[in-house]
Amino acid sequence: MSANQFKNPVVRWIDHRLPIFSFLNHEATEYPTPKNLNYFWNFGSLAGISLVIMIITGIVLSMNYTAHVDYAFDSVERIMRDVNHGWLLRYIHMNGASFFFIVVFIHIFRGLYYGSYKAPRELLWMLGVVILLLMMATAFMGYVLPWGQMSFWGATVITNLFSALPFVGEGIVTWLWGGFSVDNPTLNRFFSLHYLLPFVIVGVVILHLVALHRFGSNNPLGIDTRGPQDTIPFHPYYTIKDFFGLSVFLTFFAAAVFFFPNFMGHPDNYIPANALQTPAHIVPEWYFLPFYAILRAVPDKLGGVLAMFGAIAVLFILPWLDSSPVRSGRFRPIFKIFFWVFFADCLVLGYIGAMPAEGIYVVIGRVATVWYFLHFLLILPILSVAETPRPLPQSISTPIFGGAGAMAGAAAAPKRKVE
Partner 1 sequence: MKKPILTLAAAVISASFSLPALSAGGGDVILRQEEWSFSGPFGTFNKASMQRGFQAYKEVCAGCHSMNYIAFRNLADLGYNEAEIKAIAAEYEVEDGPNDEGEMFMRNGIPADRIPAPYPNELAARAANNGAYPPDLSLIVKARANGADYLYSLLTSYEDAPAGTVVPEGMYYNAAYSGHMIAMPQPLYGDDVEYADGADTSMDAVAKDLVNFMAWAAEPALEERKRMGVAVMIFLVLLSGLSFGAMRFIWADVKKAEA
Catalytic residue among 98, 151, 217, 328: 217
15 among known catalytic residues: no
Q: Of 73-81, 121-129, 182-190, 198-206, which segment contacts partner 1 by CB under 8 A?
A: 73-81
213 among known catalytic residues: yes
Quick check: 391 binds partner 1 (CB under 8 A)? no
Which residue, among 194, 240, 220, 232, has the nearest Cα to 45 in the 3D structure?
A: 240
Comparison of 403 and 409: residue with beta carbon closer to partner 1: 409
Task: Give me the helix-helix angle, 184-215 and 43-63, nearest 10°.
Answer: 150
Catalytic residue among 118, 241, 266, 375: 241
Comparison of 176 and 269: residue with beta carbon closer to partner 1: 269
What does DSSP say about strands 32-34 and 231-233: parallel, antiparallel, or unpaired?
Answer: antiparallel
Residue 5 Cβ vs partner 1, minimum distance, rounded to whole Å:
22
CA distance 300 to 298: 6
Comparison of 80 and 123: residue with beta carbon closer to partner 1: 80
Identify whether the C-beta of residue 93 lies closer than 8 Å to the C-beta of residue 61.
Answer: yes
CA distance 395 to 324: 19
Catalytic residue among 15, 242, 268, 345: 242
241 among known catalytic residues: yes
Catalytic residue among 15, 285, 322, 345: 285
Q: CA-CA distances (angstroms) from residue 387 to 219, 324, 382?
A: 21, 9, 8
Write out the binding residues for partner 1, residues 36-65 only, by CB under 8 A. Answer: 38-40
Residue 166 Cβ vs partner 1, minimum distance, rounded to whole Å:
32
387 among known catalytic residues: no
263 CB-contact burial (10 Å; exposed 0-12 / middle 13-18 / buried 19+):
exposed
Q: With the C-alpha atoms ordered 22, 122, 332, 349, is the resulting torsion angle positive or negative?
A: negative
Quick check: 91 binds partner 1 (CB under 8 A)? yes
Quick check: 387 binds partner 1 (CB under 8 A)? no
Distance in angstroms between the alpha carbons of the first and the last residue of the chain: 32
Quick check: 263 binds partner 1 (CB under 8 A)? yes
Identify whether the C-beta of residue 314 lies closer than 8 Å to the C-beta of residue 340.
Answer: no
Comparison of 250 and 312: residue with beta carbon closer to partner 1: 250
CA distance 155 to 50: 24
Quick check: 77 binds partner 1 (CB under 8 A)? yes
Question: Residue 236, preceding bond cis, omega within 30 degrees?
Answer: yes
> Which residues would be at the binding site for partner 1 (CB under 8 A)?
35, 38-40, 77, 80-81, 87-88, 91, 98, 101-102, 105-106, 109, 113, 232, 236-237, 240-241, 243-244, 247-248, 250-252, 254-255, 257-259, 261-268, 270-271, 280-281, 283, 286-287, 289, 330, 340, 343, 347, 350-351, 353-355, 409-410, 412-414, 419
